[in-house]
Amino acid sequence: MPRPIRHPSPRIPLLIATAWAGLVCAPECRAQSAEAAPADRRTVGAIERALLDAGLENVTVYPGDGIQIAYENRRYRRAVDALGLVRAATGEPILVGERRLGLIAATLQPLEQPGREAFRVRYPTDADFPRSPEGPARSATFARADLDLGAIVDYRVGQIFDPLQLRAQLEPRLLLNPWTGARVRLGVLIPLQNDFPAGDLDPDLNRVRPGRASLDQFGWIPGMALVSFSGGYFGDNRYGFSAGAARPLHDGDWLVDFQVDRTGFLAFNEGGTLYSRLDRTSAFAGLTYRPPVADVSLTVRGGQFLYGDRGLDFEVRRSFDDVDVAYFVQRTGDVPFFGVRFDLPVPPMTRATGTALRVQPTPRFAATFRDKDEPRGRFLEGVASRTEFLRQLNRTSLAAGAERYRRAAGEPVAARARMTREWVSFTGMSGFVNTPWAGVVVDRGMELGYDFVPRKWAYDHRGTHDNQVFYAALGFLPHVETALRWTRIPGHHSFEEIAPDSRLVDMDRMASARVALLEPRERRPGLAVGIEDAQGTRRFHSTYAVAGVPFGLMGRPARVSAGYGFRMLEAERRVLDGAFGAAEIAAQPWLRAQIEYDSEKWNAGLGLKPFAGLQLRAALLNLESLSVGAGWSQAL
């Protein structure tokens, strides 16, 4: 018979003295447990079985003050999903420890009062961190292996005679967790397509060659830091070692992170193996802050990059459940960079666990887009990351997933409100035809689309070339809209005056943002400020303030806006330069008509929403030239 969980005499939590961290229930958790524990408590065996059946590994359930549970989650995308399943399995308030690579990374105390988003997180660096649970780990990962099927895709744009170059490689990776805190990775790179010319930095591009072959080791120095070490071949023709230390503070709201690397060159070409001594040092010191707004992190890192340049990297990252989007700016020497980083989930969304060998696609695919293709501002990749080890183990990320936690725990959750889809203008941001609205794309809302602007009223090469606009608008934060836009000038070849055979079609890239200072409501005006082409060549620049109000007209939704485009920054040309205004009426939920003055000319527009997030638009620019576009919107 499985033994029931008992309440022995109270014990004082002890600071752990080894790299194995653990847990006992905190005093407030014990008080909750005494009040909320059911009369017929679930047995250790029943809880253990439920956790194993849910696909959790490295499971330890130890009876004591409250319920003491530790587990590793390699099955579910979010830490809150596993935490909710554990709460459902226990049937009473709990304090649990989540393991990573068999090493307890943090203790988590979940929600117990509806509407209170107050998860608590403790790390082995905290003075009040409880001790480890006793007993072996069930379904241990140390004798298991993963075969991840990954891909590496690189690109280059802007080459005169080859405007778009792609490099795609398949990388099967064998991953092992041989002991606590350790990860061994062995990979092979298989070229699929390569338009890149071989150079001094990567002379073996077209060969089947080793991928990453390295050892990562994580461990805690109790009361001080999470430390990591990596040694081996890290890919990108770099080998050597890397060491780092991080200290999470205040339930993970802050993270101080340091890293130093010493690497050399290593390539596997036809003539044999080429290598250098360990002659290059790179390092950084970083600070991350997570404000209590959505699942956002602000990170600044300064130091020496991989190729010897020095500078700063500032990143704003938002996690939309399974998708991460980060905007970053860098300065190395006198050279500024900006770009966007994506971290995208790869199906299946629920991963296999509990088997001796898992064969499946890599869990996530990372991509980076930069405005300049230069070997500057690059950190060493392929080494142990303390930030990644602690991913989602902070109270901000847990609170952002509170609905997922309650759903996994079996609690009723109200359906998420249907996303309000703002109309996106021909500029690639929400608005009318060319003018902006006083609101923004709803939080977590996204639209991808394309617009065609005829040459007569094109803003770049007007009168000679059409403009083709490709855009991505995103409700990055509540009251904040961001957008990336690429404007192609078909028929105009860059540098053709000095290279008549140039195949490079002129393409402008820009980043934009708008903040709603006061959200417009029915019969209540709203106010927003924004900047378009904030980063880029500023061929399509605007800096503006706009006010607007929605209202009912003959029983139909309508809205009006007015604003002014200011000359605040230097720009090659401006889309909004002076006063502008617009009006709109929705004759049907799927049909609306617009009229506007965009500080230069009058335009009339028509919008259709046929189905499945598709939005079609057409406009007469200056009431004479037809412009058309389409977008697809979706909630993240």
The yes-or-no verdict on residue 33 having pLDDT over 70 is no
What pLDDT sits at residue 94? 78
Instruction: Kindly report, residue by residue over 327-360, the tens digit of the pLDDT.
Output: 999 999 888 889 999 999 999 989 999 999 999 9
CA of residue 353 relative to chain centroid, distance: 25
Give pLDDT, residue 465: 92
Predicted TM-score (pTM) of the model is: 0.88
Q: pLDDT confidence of 266, banded at 50, 70, 90?
A: very high
- CA nearest 195: which of 156, 237, 151? 156
Residues in the chain: 636
pLDDT value, residue 570: 87
pLDDT(101) > 90 = yes
Distance in angstroms (rounded) separating the CA atoms of residues 113 and 98: 22
Element (H, E) at 91: none
Q: Which residues share a beta bridge with 246? A: 226, 257
Average pLDDT over residues 349-377: 90
pLDDT band at 27 (very low <50, low <70, confident <90, very high): very low
Return d(Cα 358, Cα 74) in angstroms, integer: 11
Answer positive or negative: Cα dihedral of 84, 85, 90, 95: negative
What is each CA distance from 62 to 7, 65, 112, in whole angstroms? 11, 10, 21
- Give me the pLDDT at residue 493, please: 73
Residue 603 in contact with residue 620, Cβ under 8 Å?
yes
Picking from 149-153, 157-161, 243-247, which range would have the lowest pLDDT averaged per residue? Answer: 157-161
Q: How confident is the model at residue 117 (pLDDT cuts 50, 70, 90)?
A: low
Tokens standing for residue 69:
């549970």
634 close to 446: Cβ distance less than 8 angstroms: yes
Instruction: State yes or no: cis peptide before 348, omega within 30 of 0.
Output: yes
Which residues are 390's β-sheet partners? none
Phi, psi of 422 (to 5 degrees): -75, 150
Task: Tell me which residue of 56, 39, 23, 42 sits closest to 408, measured CA to CA.
Answer: 56
Q: Which of 90-104, 158-172, 210-224 is predicted with the least confidence, judged by mean pLDDT?
A: 158-172
Is 100 in a helix, a strand, or coil?
Answer: strand
- Contact by Cβ (8 Å): 276, 264: yes
Q: Of residues 197 and 224, which shows the higher confidence score?
A: 224
pLDDT one-digit tens code per residue, 34-43: 444 454 678 8
Which tens digits make up the pLDDT trace of 425-468? 999 999 999 999 999 999 999 999 999 999 999 988 899 999 99
Percent of the chain with pLDDT over 90: 64
Most confident region among 131-135, 182-186, 397-401, 572-576 by mean pLDDT: 182-186
pLDDT value at residue 515: 97
Q: Which residues contact 34 (CB under 8 A, 6 or more apart)?
A: none
**For residue 44, what are the CA distances in angstroms to 107, 166, 195, 319, 447?**
19, 54, 58, 35, 49
Using N-to-C axis directions, what is the helix angle for 44-53 and 79-90, rounded to 10°? 150
Least reliable range by pLDDT among 81-85, 229-233, 500-504: 500-504
Q: Using CA atoms, how far apart are residues 486 and 506, in angstroms rounded to an integer?
A: 10
How far is Cα 30 from Cα 12, in angstroms, rounded to an integer? 12
CA–CA gap between residue 367 and residue 171 (Å, rounded): 15
CA distances from residue 354 to 148, 191, 350 in whole angstroms, order as listed: 16, 32, 13
Q: How much is the pLDDT for 28?
A: 43
Q: What percent of the chain has pLDDT over 70?
A: 89
> Most confidently modeled of 15-19, 151-155, 166-170, 323-327?
323-327
User: What's residue 296's pLDDT?
Assistant: 95
Using 50, 70 and 90 to split pLDDT, how confident is the model at 116?
low
Question: How high is the pLDDT of residue 114?
Answer: 55
Exposed/middle/buried for residue 278 (C-beta within 10 Å: 0-12, 13-18, 19+): middle
pLDDT, mean of residues 351-371: 92
DSSP one-letter string for 306-372: TTS-EEEEEEEEEEETTEEEEEEEEEETTEEEEEEEEEEE-S-SS---SSSEEEEE-SEEEEEEESS
At 393, list the tokens: 């183990």
What pLDDT shows up at residue 611? 86
pLDDT, tens digit (0-9, with 9 covering 90-100), for 193-206: 888 776 666 787 78
CA distance 592 to 176: 57
CA distance 81 to 219: 25
Tokens of 440: 């923004």
- Determine the average pLDDT of the residues in 92-113: 87
State residue 12's pLDDT score.
25
State the DSSP string of 179-226.
Answer: STTEEEEEEEEEEEEE-SPP-SS-TTTTS-EEEEEEEEEEEEETTTEE
What's the confidence (pLDDT) of residue 357? Answer: 95
Q: Which range, of 197-211, 240-254, 293-307, 479-493, averages the lowest pLDDT?
A: 197-211
Domains of the chain: 1-141+385-414 (no CATH), 145-176+181-384 (no CATH), 445-635 (2.40.160.40)
Higher pLDDT pick, 373 / 449: 449
Residue type, 481: E
Q: Tell me the pLDDT tens digit for each residue of 383-406.
A: 999 999 999 999 999 999 988 998
DSSP secondary-structure letter at 513? E
Cα 154 → chain centroid: 19
Residue of higher predicted confidence among 433 and 273: 433
pLDDT digits 0-9 by tens, 231-259: 999 988 999 999 999 999 999 999 999 99
Average pLDDT taken over every residue of the chain = 87
The pLDDT of residue 11? 28
Would you say residue 93 has pLDDT above 90? Answer: no
